[in-house]
Amino acid sequence: MNDFLSTYGFLIVSMLFGSMLGISLYLPLMAGQLSLASPGFYAVGGYIAAILSTKVFVTTGTFPIPLLLLEMAIAGIVCGILGILVGVPALRLRGIYLAIATIAFIEIIRIISLNLEITGGAVGIFGIPQPFNSPIEYLWIALPLLLLSMAFVYRLENIRVGRALVAIREDELAADAMGINPTYYKVLAFTLGAILAGVVGAVSAHFLNTWNARQGTFDASIVYLTFVLIGGSRSFLGAVLGGMVFTAMPELLRFAADTPNLPLFIAQFLRDGRLMIFGLLIVLGTIFFPQGLVPAGLLKRSTQREQKSTK
Amino acid sequence: MTSAWFRWVLSIGFPVLLTACGTSNNAPSRGENASSTGGAIPIGIAVAQTSNVALLGQEQVAGAKLAEKYFNDRGGVNGTPIKLILQDTAGDEQGAINAFQTLINRDKVVGIVGPTLSQQAFSADPIADRAKVPVLGPSNTAKGIPEIGDFVGRVSAPVAIVAPNAVKAALKINPQIKKVAVFFAQNDAFSKSETEIFQQTVQEQKLELATVQKFQTTDTDFQSQATAGINAKPDLVIVSGLAADGGNLIRQLRELGYKGLIIGGNGLNTSNLFPVCKKLCDGILIAQAYNPAQPNLLNKAFRDAYMAQYQKEPPQFSAQAFTGVQVFVEALTALSKATPTTKVNAQPIGDLRVGLNKQLLAGKYSTPLGEISFTPIGEIVQKDFYVAQIKMDADGTNGKFTFLK
Amino acid sequence: MDGKPRSVGDLSGDRIKSMTVFLQNLLGGLSIGSVYAIFALGYTLVFSILGIINFAHGAIFTLGAYFTYALMGGKFGFNGLLANFSLGIQLPFWLAAILAAILAGGVAVAIERLAYRPLRRKQSDPLLMVVSSLGVALVLVNLIQYLVGAENYTFPGNTYGDLPSAINFGSAKNPIVIRTVQIIIFVISGMILAGLTYFITGTKYGKAIRAVAEDPTTASLLGIDTERFIMLSFFVSGFLGSIAGTLVGSSFGIAGPYFGIGFGLKGLAVIVLGGLGSIPGSVIGGLLIGMVESFVPDSGYKDAVAFAILFIILLVRPQGILGQKLIQKV
């Protein structure tokens, strides 16, 4: 058990982070807005924590947890403000236009962090102090954070705000006619996602020991989108499950490749072809799980409508 | 609805099942000492075998495998063979940490050669250091790597030492050099560290830094940077990048009419450069941490083995990975000589790792890189650095690095 | 950041110099932009018919370059399953490029049938098709790596014959030097763009594609076999992606399996800038981004400026420069 925890401790915590990043992309999607901006906020949150802990809150030995929480709060606030600044103009766009505008946002953040001195260019920031002795202990932060965000989204879905978001997703014009202000709610959902991504980024900077411009990229947004869409885009549980399964997938394949007595060519294929298999699973997933792994009605009371067909 | 539920259960069940099977299969191999590989001593290789860094990782795997064969053919560690365990880090930080964790806790390796990128090292090396597992970076050249911890060292010379030699060599060839144009790949940690040293050297040599141009390793066109560089009328161009982008930049500079000397950084120290700029590679000065013509015995053996298998000169990345494995093997051998009564891999893995780290830092090694040893913090002390000039064949398909002394 | 300012000469000399730089950047930008345009047209065709962004297009770009390399008699390196493999035939560049484009077109059609058609049949959320296309890209890129490794390749032999490597359009004193390969690329791209425009507007196939793009239901009522034209447009899209890959390959070489990914991202900026689904828009978008990139003074921000312009254009004119007004479904 001990061996298992020390081998997979990092992975287990990564899976929880994956879930939260999935939720951060799911939030705007609740209102039908496809935003791929999460990695940008994740990157900004990470830089905030990395800079604060290596330049401002310089400590020796174990990094104090209260300071970590403070960093998370600062990252959340900054990303929230940035979220509003980007969200207000960007959310006038719809569908794929919004997606591409958010990709542009990520690229801009990436290039700026490559060029600034304070972010360390391509080398990034390293030697970030550790609040814990081993990766698995990050569960003390990651687990409550995940439960909290799950509870928050669950609650959100069942109050007026959540219903407004769903109404916008189903038909924005009708929602507008009913007196729901679409812009307000869309920006709200987008900003909540930005805050969550920023907070996760702040913890991740410590968790990864280092932070650089490769953390928030277009590739990452694709991965998060996969979490949500294959996990199930009609329930936050889909994002949570998708985040876990797809974070673990490459490691599961690594594990499978190490199974003793496996014919050499299969082991070799599982090793070198891991990403190919990953891609294939995504393709098959869209065909066989069009609603995602978690269908819409799973947590809802039976009175609510059955999975309404999209579009 | 039922079918949806069924699928849901299935999709959850599948990974769990996979994990369960794997765990039970692996259970017997979890010994307390390092004998889990049928008596051979496990050494971990954690480099990028997939992703867009794989070009470098592939070369490292080739070098490490040659070392495994070479030393096992000569009796391994006092009769006990070594066994390389490869775990792919892919190109990212998460992958590097996962590979390290697997090597340390499941594969129970005595030490790790890896990872490929400095950014990955900043992420994964602290994990190994806390687990007290010796790590040798085969290609991590950024500032601050050995400082990560007691168990972290490297066999890749930091850029600060290699780069200035090339500028001095250029001044020797052409003492009239006044203006210098510097180019670097801004999204590559290696190039970014290296260019800082180059720019500092340029200033120390009282040369004028006429322009600094940036590009990305993913760029496919350098017209604007090359034009801006040439318009600054430099007498010397310094390029820090990797083979594909750096080689193309040089090719475009030459095609656009630049005639002066060109210095390539250590990232261009590979025969992968030749197909990129062909005849136009001719005359590039390269700062090298490895030269295939290094005359010592081990390099001869390494070079011959590499040439026999791949029909070309071995690249620096392969030589450094070979050296990493060699250092582990020789340190283990020294360790087992010190305690002749017990087999080296019979002692508890924790003690063995600590002992190995201590021994490793104390030793002197005659490697394909020349004579090397380590400072107490694990920085490489390398005697021989080279500046080579590329000479291409008349038809531009093949070339070689010729020494400058 | 950008080093020391250049030495200040006399004014008239400076003016000539800046004019030279301007012309050089203009011509360079046009050449790069024309490849962006060809590449982006592949996106545009598929978007106009299915309303999705086919992210596998960047991988087709890469695949096309590899096909050309193999058909020209290139040999693969020692990594991967096909170590030291070569086809044993040595076609001239132009023939290899065309055959490669046909092959890549075939691959694009196969992808459509295997991955996207099942989704269309089920009338799934179009977003799923976007995700699926990302999965396809991942498979293609890693398949290439699995088969032929991550090495760099340069097309064997003299791709464009014995032309000088660069041409000077200025005088000896004030040179305006452009690489020959860029001029060739620009000319070829221009011919392809002209040909494609004729195909779309002048032939009945092209008209049918446009009819399907505008309204699939009506088109099928009119007796147009919708499926056939979806396949045709995927074929043309793959063909164009491959040509773009081959052209960049002829100037730059093939930089491993991830070669096309950066292009894929840039292509997105191009089509949105020009207006999604608009063919002339893609051309203008391509040329515009090519030029903007060559005129950015600090090379470090080259890519950021292209995306920043995209961001601003989207906010000011969400439908792009030449895009049609967004139709809202009520």
The per-residue pLDDT for range C183-201, each reduced to its tens digit, is 899 999 999 989 988 988 8
A187 in a structural domain: yes
Interval C143-152: pLDDT, tens:
998 898 888 8
Least confident window among A41-50, A112-121, B326-335, B337-346: B337-346
Q: Which of residues 159-178 of C touch B (CB under 8 A)?
A: 165-166, 168, 175, 177
How far is residue C4's CA from residue B212's CA, in Å, rounded to a whole number? 9
B19 in a structural domain: no
Residues B280 and B172 reside in one and the same domain: yes
How far is residue B111's CA from residue B85's CA, in Å, rounded to a whole number? 10
- Residue A311 is predicted with a pLDDT of 39
Residues B99 and B119 reside in one and the same domain: yes
Residues B125 and B182 reside in one and the same domain: no
Total domains present in chain B: 2
How far is residue B106's CA from residue B34's CA, in Å, rounded to a whole number? 11
Contact criterion met (CB < 8 Å) for B106 and A241: no
How far is residue C319's CA from residue C313's CA, in Å, rounded to a whole number? 9
- Residue C20 is predicted with a pLDDT of 76
Mean pLDDT of B53-79: 93
Q: Please report residues of B whose CB lies closer than 8 A to that of A115.
A: 186, 214
Host domain of residue B180:
160-288+386-404
Interval C151-187: pLDDT, tens:
888 888 777 877 888 888 777 777 788 888 888 999 9
Residues B102 and B121 reside in one and the same domain: yes
% chain B with pLDDT above 90: 62
Interval A284-306: pLDDT, tens:
988 988 888 887 665 554 334 44
How far is residue B205's CA from residue C196's CA, in Å, rounded to a whole number? 56
Give the CATH number, domain containing residue B318.
3.40.50.2300
The answer on pLDDT for C233 being more than 60 is yes
Contact criterion met (CB < 8 Å) for B221 and C252: yes
Interval C80-111: pLDDT, tens:
788 788 888 889 999 999 999 999 999 999 99
Q: Which of B218, B273, B309 has the most C C-beta neighbours within 10 Å, making it the best mutation to test the interface with C?
A: B218
Interval B159-213: pLDDT, tens:
677 788 899 999 999 999 999 999 999 998 889 989 999 999 999 999 999 999 9
Q: Please report residues of C whose CB lies closer than 8 A to that of A103.
A: 265, 268, 307
- Find all residues with CB under 8 Å of C67, minimum gap 6, and list them: C96, C99, C100, C103, C104, C242
Residues B189 and B321 reside in one and the same domain: no
Residues B284 and B396 reside in one and the same domain: yes
**CA-based nearest residue to B115, from B133, B132, B99:** B99
Cα-Cα-Cα-Cα dihedral sign, residues C327, C328, C329, C330: negative
Contact criterion met (CB < 8 Å) for C153 and B224: no
Total domains present in chain A: 1
Partner-chain residue, chosen from C4, C150, C175, that has the shortest CB–CB distance to B55: C150
Instruction: For helices C302-316 and C261-274, give the axis angle rounded to 10 degrees.
Output: 30
Q: Which of residues 2-41 of B touch A (CB under 8 A)?
A: 4, 7-8, 11-12, 15, 18-19, 21-23, 25-26, 29-30
C192-204 residues labelled b (16+ CB within 10 A) or e (exposed) = bbeebeeebeeee
Q: Which of residues 266-305 of A touch B (CB under 8 A)?
A: 271-272, 274-275, 288-289, 291, 293-295, 297-298
Host domain of residue A175:
7-226
- Residue A260 is predicted with a pLDDT of 78
Q: Please report residues of C whose CB lies closer than 8 A to that of B226.
A: none
Residue pair B285/B395 in contact by the 8 Å Cβ criterion: no
Confidence of residue B340 (pLDDT cuts 50, 70, 90): low
Confidence of residue C22 (pLDDT cuts 50, 70, 90): confident
Peptide bond into B115 cis (omega under 30): yes
Mean pLDDT of C222-243: 91
Q: Please report residues of B whose CB lies closer than 8 A to that of C248.
A: 220
- Residue in C closest to A281 by C-alpha: C135
The answer on pLDDT for C327 being more than 60 is no
- Residue A297 is predicted with a pLDDT of 60
Interval B126-140: pLDDT, tens:
999 999 999 999 999
* Residue ranges of domains in chain C, CATH in brackets: 16-316 (1.10.3470)
Residues B94 and B207 reside in one and the same domain: no
B20 in a structural domain: no
Touching subunits for chain A (3+ Cβ pairs under 8 A):
B, C
B184 in a structural domain: yes
Q: Please report residues of A whose CB lies closer than 8 A to that of B186.
A: 114-115, 121-122
Mean pLDDT of A212-237: 87
Q: Which of A12, A14, A62, A123 has the most B C-beta neighbours within 10 Å, making it the best mutation to test the interface with B?
A: A123
Partner-chain residue, chosen from A96, A104, A230, that has the shortest CB–CB distance to C310: A104
Least confident window among A290-299, B221-230, B321-330, C127-136: A290-299
The answer on pLDDT for A238 being more than 70 is yes
Q: Please report residues of A whose CB lies closer than 8 A to that of B12.
A: 241, 293
- Residue in B closest to C30 by C-alpha: B223
What is the overall mean pLDDT for chain C?
Answer: 84
- Residue B31 is predicted with a pLDDT of 37
Residue pair C272/C47 in contact by the 8 Å Cβ criterion: no
Mean pLDDT of B134-154: 94
